[in-house]
């Protein structure tokens, strides 16, 4: 092992001893949403609150800290309901809730409307067996406004642990990541994707911003990516993960450009374009693919 690499691993091991990292995989339809707990001597930083059906899991994980009256901080990576389901529950137990400033509107809007629209979109994209709708509704609960909104470069610190805020939009406008520089741990939510979810390919609302976010993450000496549905631990795994993410980003752009050029540009309906893109990348047609196709077409036509 190279001396520099050994030194890096030693630094990571030292800082990781300053906090205990717990991972909770909450079942979410055919995949899972992952919640992370970073526990220090005085506090617990919770990355995303997950889905409502994971309450017992989160309650059990937090019980020892609550008994010791440790401070709770909930850091949301974005405003999507599979990552914010237990936000109200945590706030009722004294957690201070933080999110990027771009999440201020969705977290403070009409929650019933947002939640219902989320269900409707989910049901349109991923049909559920008859009689199972109630089980889907138990996955999420309306979130609530944060106690504080963060910007790029903000820090949340407790003792030896310091998390810096990175603004990493692309998946959605409110996507933020939390970076622990000493250990090289990045808690990224859905900001970086290398496989896509539900077999639907990557889910992007702003392709230009997503490319910038990938470059930002790639410029850092990240040694572990703890995502909302995927993880990559170890520098080699992180490099491979980021390489696959960049390849998928390029593949999606190539599929959109080729489908657009080969189709009837003036008369081609966006739905038809998305269906053709899905055929080329092996993803089923749904609203997620429709939105992602539109995002990459905007980047191709307007650079934004």
Residue 253 contacts residue 299 (beta carbons within 8 Å) = yes
The model's pLDDT over 252-288, given as tens digits with 9 standing for 90+, comes to: 999 999 999 998 766 788 999 999 999 999 888 888 8
pLDDT at 304: 72
C-alpha to C-alpha distance for 252 and 232, rounded to whole angstroms: 22
- What average pLDDT does this structure show over 64-79? 95
Q: Over 70: is that where the pLDDT of 198 sits?
A: no
> Which is higher by pLDDT, 146 or 160?
146
pTM, two decimal places: 0.88
C-alpha to C-alpha distance for 54 and 64, rounded to whole angstroms: 17
3-state secondary structure the chain: CCHHHHHHHHHHHHHHCCCEEEEEEEEECCEEEEEEEEECCCEEEEECCECHHHHHHHHHHHHHHHHCCCEEEEECCCCCHHHHCCHHHHHHCCCEEEEEHHHHHHHHCCHHHHHHHHHHHHHHHCCCCCCCHHHHHCCCCCCCCCCEEECCCCEEEECCEEEEEEECCCCCCCCEEEEECCCCEEEEECCCCCCCCCCCCCCCCCHHHHHHHHHHHHCCCCCEEEECCCEEECHHHHHHHHHHHHHHHHHHHHHHHHHHHHCCCCCCCHHHHHHHHHHHHCCCCCHHHHHHHHHHHHHHHHCC
The model's pLDDT over 72-122, given as tens digits with 9 standing for 90+, comes to: 999 999 988 889 989 999 999 999 999 999 987 767 655 555 555 555 666
Residue 206 contacts residue 173 (beta carbons within 8 Å) = yes
Q: First-to-last CA distance in the chain?
A: 43
The model's pLDDT over 223-256, given as tens digits with 9 standing for 90+, comes to: 999 999 989 999 999 999 999 999 999 999 999 9
Q: Over 70: is that where the pLDDT of 293 sits?
A: yes
pLDDT at 109: 59
pLDDT at 3: 43
C-alpha to C-alpha distance for 48 and 51, rounded to whole angstroms: 9
The model's pLDDT over 11-40, given as tens digits with 9 standing for 90+, comes to: 333 344 578 999 999 988 778 899 999 999
Please, which residues have CB within 8 angstroms of residue 135's CB and are 6 or more apart in sequence?
Answer: 128
The two beta strands, 231-233 and 224-227, are: antiparallel
- Partners of 162 in the beta sheet? 157
Q: What domains appear along the chain, each with residue ranges and CATH number? A: 3-249 (3.60.15.10)
């Amino acid at each position: 092992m190279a001396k520099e690499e050994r030194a890096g691993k030693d630094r990571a091991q030292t800082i990781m001893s300053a906090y205990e990292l717990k991972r909770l995989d909450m079942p979410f339809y055919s995949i899972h949403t992952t919640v992370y707990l970073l526990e220090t001597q005085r506090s617990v930083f919770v990355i995303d609150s997950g889905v409502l059906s994971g309450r017992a899991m989160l309650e059990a994980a937090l019980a020892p800290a609550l008994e010791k009256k440790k401070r709770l901080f909930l850091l949301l990576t974005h405003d999507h309901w599979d990552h914010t389901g237990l936000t109200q529950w945590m706030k009722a137990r004294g957690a201070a809730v933080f999110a990027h400033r771009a999440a201020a509107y969705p977290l403070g809007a009409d929650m019933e409307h947002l939640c219902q629209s989320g269900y409707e979109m989910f049901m349109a994209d991923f049909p559920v067996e008859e009689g199972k709708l109630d089980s889907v509704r138990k996955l999420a609960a309306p979130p609530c406004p944060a106690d504080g909104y963060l910007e790029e470069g903000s820090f949340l610190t407790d003792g030896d642990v310091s998390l810096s805020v990175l603004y990493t939009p692309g998946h959605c406008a409110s996507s933020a990541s939390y970076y622990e520089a000493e250990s090289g741990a990045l808690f990224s939510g859905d900001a970086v994707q290398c496989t896509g979810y539900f077999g639907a390919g990557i889910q992007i609302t702003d392709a230009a911003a997503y490319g910038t976010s990938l470059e930002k993450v790639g410029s850092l000496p990240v040694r572990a990516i703890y995502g909302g549905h995927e993880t990559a631990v170890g520098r080699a795994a992180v490099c491979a993960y980021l390489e696959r993410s960049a390849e998928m980003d390029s593949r999606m752009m190539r599929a959109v450009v080729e489908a657009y050029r080969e189709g009837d540009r003036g008369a081609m309906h966006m739905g038809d374009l998305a269906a053709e893109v899905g055929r080329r990348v092996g993803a089923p047609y749904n609203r997620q693919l429709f939105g992602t196709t539109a995002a990459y077409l905007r980047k191709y036509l307007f650079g934004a």
